[in-house]
């Protein structure tokens, strides 16, 4: 059983507490921190939390808790983690780890210096669908992953600080690009080095300094490409979709809209439908188990099981650091309009740059490029001559 300090009583503090108190149910939040006493007290009462405080250090140094969960705005992650590392506590931090690669690296160094357990709460790589898809990819079902596309778009976040670049560190890229980048990275292989990024971003709708939309490509050392699409301008709820293409297969994942639960109501559903739902009449797409579908349940179980077993969780602060470094390159590319290198001072994965696409022999003289069954029953072969490289076709008549 773990006794937990929850820093932040906003949306994510609520989701995390709900998960911790229901999932393994042997772990309990013992202290809640919020800067606002009314909110802290209300939150503690709602979730059966014995103590609350408006002092960050008091929450972190509580003598009874052994785990600190950081669910605060992005600009407060470093301060909270530094204090928690000094207190020798296990630390779980929400996404993004930091507002930039250098800030993320300082955070990583602080926890490694202190020798404390650290887990990066990137829930979207833990959704039940994603875990199963990742297993299929690891089992070789897709062959070599060539392209992983991840999209998160909705009408914009729910609190003021997200929209203020000085507190959040950026707009839709920092807020949601971090999810999409880590999803693509997980499918391509976390051992494969991200090399460079090309990104478009703009402020299309909202009167803010940060970007409210972006599309980026992340090139990996093995030739694979990760694609992220993020926006705070999308209408119609929250669109969370992933696509993975490999040499031998394809995966399409839809996590939030039209996932098999469609409800029509002319009078209104009279309650909460699902995160970022835009209305409560007409066709609605509720989500049965929201914390499960978003990955919070398997994520917290992995974190606390890893802590119990003295192992690393699937996602730790090193992953958060790599994601921040990729986002930094994306922001540089938006400015330069060029491919920008991913600057990773610390790289712990493979140094292999092999693209690894093999030539398939057709016969002594040819490589096989493609084979297709035609409407007349014949089979068409596209071949490449081994000497000279000419591309030719051959038709095999149908039976």
Ligand X SMILES: NC(=O)c1ccc[n+]([C@@H]2O[C@H](COP(=O)([O-])OP(=O)(O)OC[C@H]3O[C@@H](n4cnc5c(N)ncnc54)[C@H](O)[C@@H]3O)[C@@H](O)[C@H]2O)c1
Q: Which chain residues interact with ligand X by CB under 6 A?
A: 8-13, 34-36, 71-74, 76, 94-95, 121, 123, 159, 161
Nearest alpha-carbon partner for 324 in 178, 201, 211: 178
Helices (H), the chain: 11-22, 37-47, 56-60, 77-86, 101-114, 128-138, 160-163, 165-168, 172, 178-188, 290-293, 296-309, 317-336
Provide the minimum distance between the beta carbon of 16 and ligand X in the complex, in angstroms, as a whole number. 9
Provide the minimum distance between the beta carbon of 107 and ligand X in the complex, in angstroms, as a whole number. 13
Provide the minimum distance between the beta carbon of 216 and ligand X in the complex, in angstroms, as a whole number. 18
Provide the minimum distance between the beta carbon of 159 and ligand X in the complex, in angstroms, as a whole number. 3
Distance CA 45, CA 348 (A): 44
Count the neighbouring beta carbons within 10 Å of the beta carbon of residue 361: 11
Residue among 54 and 203 whose Cβ is closer to ligand X = 54
Residue among 142 and 304 whose Cβ is closer to ligand X = 304
Provide the minimum distance between the beta carbon of 195 and ligand X in the complex, in angstroms, as a whole number. 26
Alpha-carbon torsion (142, 144, 147, 151), positive or negative = positive
Nearest alpha-carbon partner for 295 in 273, 315, 319, 317: 315
Whole-angstrom CA distances from 139 to 157, 223, 242, 248 are 37, 20, 19, 12
Q: Is 72 helix (H, G, I), strand (E, B) or coil?
A: coil
- β-pair type (250-254, 239-246): antiparallel
* In contact, 77 and 98? CB cutoff 8 Å: yes
Residue 208 tokens, joined: 């803010």
Residue among 245 and 293 whose Cβ is closer to ligand X = 293
Residue among 221 and 323 whose Cβ is closer to ligand X = 323
Residue among 171 and 216 whose Cβ is closer to ligand X = 171
Taking CB atoms, the residue at the shortest distance from ligand X is 10
Residue among 72 and 218 whose Cβ is closer to ligand X = 72
Residue among 13 and 237 whose Cβ is closer to ligand X = 13
Provide the minimum distance between the beta carbon of 180 and ligand X in the complex, in angstroms, as a whole number. 12
* In contact, 197 and 340? CB cutoff 8 Å: yes
- β-pair type (90-94, 239-246): unpaired
Residue among 74 and 231 whose Cβ is closer to ligand X = 74
Task: List CB contacts of 310: < 8 A, sequence separation 6 or more.
Answer: none
Provide the minimum distance between the beta carbon of 39 and ligand X in the complex, in angstroms, as a whole number. 6
User: What are the DSSP calls for 305-321, one per residue?
Assistant: HHHHHT---SS-HHHHH
Nearest alpha-carbon partner for 239 in 255, 215, 259: 255
Provide the minimum distance between the beta carbon of 184 and ligand X in the complex, in angstroms, as a whole number. 16
Provide the minimum distance between the beta carbon of 119 and ligand X in the complex, in angstroms, as a whole number. 12
Residue among 72 and 201 whose Cβ is closer to ligand X = 72
Instruction: Fill in the DSSP letter of residue 124.
Output: G
Residue among 53 and 333 whose Cβ is closer to ligand X = 53
């Amino acid at each position: 059983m773990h006794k937990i300090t929850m820093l932040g009583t906003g949306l994510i503090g609520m989701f995390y507490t709900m998960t911790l108190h229901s999932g393994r149910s042997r772990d309990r939040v013992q202290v809640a921190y919020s800067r606002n006493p009314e909110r802290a007290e209300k939150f503690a009462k709602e979730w059966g939390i014995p103590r609350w405080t408006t002092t960050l250090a008091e929450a972190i140094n509580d003598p009874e808790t052994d785990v600190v969960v950081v669910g605060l705005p992005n600009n407060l992650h470093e301060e909270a983690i530094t204090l928690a590392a000094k207190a020798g506590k296990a630390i779980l931090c929400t996404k993004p780890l930091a507002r930039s690669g250098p800030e993320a690296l300082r955070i990583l160094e602080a926890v490694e210096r202190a020798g404390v357990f650290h887990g990066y709460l990137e829930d979207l790589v833990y959704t039940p669908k994603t875990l199963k898809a990742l297993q299929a990819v690891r089992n070789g079902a897709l062959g070599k992953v060539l392209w992983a596309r991840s999209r998160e778009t909705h009408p914009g976040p729910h609190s003021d600080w997200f929209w203020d670049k000085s507190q959040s560190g950026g707009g839709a890229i920092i807020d949601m690009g971090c999810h999409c980048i880590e999803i693509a990275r997980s499918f391509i292989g976390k051992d494969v080095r991200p090399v460079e990024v090309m990104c478009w971003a703009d402020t299309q709708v909202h009167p803010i300094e940060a970007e409210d939309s972006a599309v980026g490509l992340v090139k990996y050392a093995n030739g694979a490409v990760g694609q992220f699409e993020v926006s705070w301008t999308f209408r119609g709820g929250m669109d969370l979709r992933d696509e993975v293409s490999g040499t031998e297969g394809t995966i399409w994942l839809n996590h939030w809209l039209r996932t098999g639960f469609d409800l029509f109501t002319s009078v209104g559903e009279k309650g909460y439908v699902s995160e970022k739902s835009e209305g409560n009449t007409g066709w609605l797409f509720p989500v049965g188990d929201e914390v499960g579908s978003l990955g919070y349940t398997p994520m917290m179980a992995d974190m606390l099981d890893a802590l119990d077993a003295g192992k690393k969780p699937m996602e730790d602060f090193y992953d958060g650091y790599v994601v921040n470094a990729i986002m930094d390159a994306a922001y540089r590319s938006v400015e330069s309009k060029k491919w920008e290198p991913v600057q990773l001072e610390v790289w712990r994965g493979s140094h292999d740059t092999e693209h690894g696409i093999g030539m398939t022999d057709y016969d002594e003289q040819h490589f096989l490029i493609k084979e297709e069954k035609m409407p007349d029953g014949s089979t068409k072969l596209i071949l490449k001559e081994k000497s000279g490289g000419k591309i030719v076709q051959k038709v095999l008549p149908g039976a």
